[in-house]
Structure 1
């Protein structure tokens, strides 16, 4: 009987989490759309988890800073990383040796780690250096669960549609930590409210 109640509780909890993510997906002000070579990926941003990070991402999107930025580090079965607006723009200033080391002209952000959300397929997290308070503009999309990242990197959103397109992003060299030669890019990035 106890096991049945626990299973019922977990089912309800899973439904609430799904409803919560769906509610964010329905909010155009907190919906980011990334156009890839094969179509659009829709991400529900999570200001409830990381208000400062989401605000910075939205500013960069609205400044068109993410347009044409490479997926410079893509590891099959792990994640696809992008967002280096300083060195990753494939139409102006792309630097294959420096991509992944840059950010934006905006300040680095204090960590907003979540203890309740987990890194699983479709989760969008902020990249950072060893300093927990160093996230700036780079982010990554998970291909699969990665429990070691839980509580260590700021979660900023969840893919709500187009994950199959993320799966098709060109993968990098595993021997070189996922570095991608001739990488795919975010063609255009926008906030749904800005149609």
Structure 2
């Protein structure tokens, strides 16, 4: 039956070439140009992140701004914020840095064996996405959907399944694109404590295996400049000071804004990247502009 259907369609196609061909003397229609990359964002395309959810990390290589996303990992965001405010992160070394992969830090022992005296955290590999979850869709793949929750790229089951679940929600998880911040752990899935890492490049195999809690919105070039090694040769690069943006005195507090995924600029960026990448389209290729003053 499959072969018959195919052959029949081929015969119909062969029978109608004259009708499909352009009339004599008439030029064929010009190909449609792909969407151009968007220009500079307008004032309405930006958003100001919650200063309680932004980490300002001064390192030996420069400054890093991280937007924490409590919607995907509330306990881990609370822990990172708490440890930052305690001063434990100040002076911590980047003790494990692998090129084309990630830079790890946040260990009071500076060697990957330590943690704080706080209890280890239960994993938050997945989160529940409901109709009110502020995810902006970038691609609908029928059985799954890809989008952005603030600056964080995420994937979820199809929204059509919401009507079939007891809580009206579906499973979703962050994508490990460049700049994404994840929590380090031991063999036990529930052993994350204070150590974390920043992705230098995309690494999908970490998805649904390590809790992601935010993303670098400014300073990815700093992350990629951190000295490589397991451990790096001394002197190792360090996080000299880690602060929550809201805690920095107003007179010296940086002004931070980042592109709004609900904006016209961002929608144009998605379409431009989709046209350029075709079958290779990925959320990791979509730009997330930011501005720090």
Matches within 5 A, 1:62-81: 62-81=85-104
CA distance in 2, matches of 1:179, 1:46: 29
CA apart distance, 1:179: 2.1
* Map of 2:231 onto structure 1: 179
Q: Which digits, 9 at most, give the CA deviation of each residue in 1:147-190, with x for residues without a partner?
A: 11000000011000011111110000xxxxx3223110000000
The two structures have a TM-score, normalised by structure 2, of 0.52
Instruction: Give the match for residue 212 of structure 2.
Output: 155
Q: Measure the CA separation in 2 of the matches of 1:39 and 1:159.
A: 13
1:188 equivalent to 2:241? Answer yes
Mapping for residues 27-106 of structure 1, pairs under 5 Å: 27-85=50-108, 87-88=109-110, 99-106=111-118
Q: Determine the structure 1 residue equivalent to 2:147.
A: none
Give how far 1:32 is off.
0.4
Measure how far apart 1:126 and its partner are. 0.2
- Distance, in Å, in 1 between the alignment partners of 2:66 and 2:213 is 9
For residues 189 and 85 of structure 2, the distance between their equivalents in structure 1, rounded to whole angstroms, comes to: 26
Superposition CA RMSD, Å: 1.6
The count of corresponding residues between Structure 1 and Structure 2 is: 159
- Rounded to whole Å, the distance in 2 between the matches of 1:145 and 1:168 is 16
Task: Provide the residue aligned with 1:113 in structure 2.
Answer: 125
In 1, Cα distance between equivalents of 2:66 and 2:226: 16
Q: Is the 8 A contact 2:72 2:173 kept in 1?
A: no
Corresponding residue for 1:9?
none
Ranges in structure 1 where 5+ consecutive residues have no aligned partner: 1-18, 89-98, 173-177
Unmatched segments (≥5 aa) in structure 2: 1-44, 127-171, 249-293
Inter-partner Cα distance in structure 2 for 1:149 and 1:142: 10
Separation of aligned partners in 2, 1:110 and 1:181:
33
Give the aligned partner of residue 3 of structure 1.
none
Distance in 1, Cα, partners of 2:199 & 2:173: 17
Deviations along 1:27-47, whole A, 9 cap, x unmatched? Answer: 100100110123210000011
* 2:192 equivalent among 132, 135, 156: 135
The structure with higher relative contact order (CA 8 Å, sep 6+) is 1
Contact in 1 for aligned 2:125/2:173 (Cα 8 Å): no
Q: Per the alignment, in what secondary structure is the counterpart of residue 116 of structure 1?
A: strand
Which SS does the other structure have where 2:228 is aligned? coil
Q: Cα offset for 1:57?
A: 0.7
**TM-score of the two chains, using structure 1 as the length reference:** 0.78
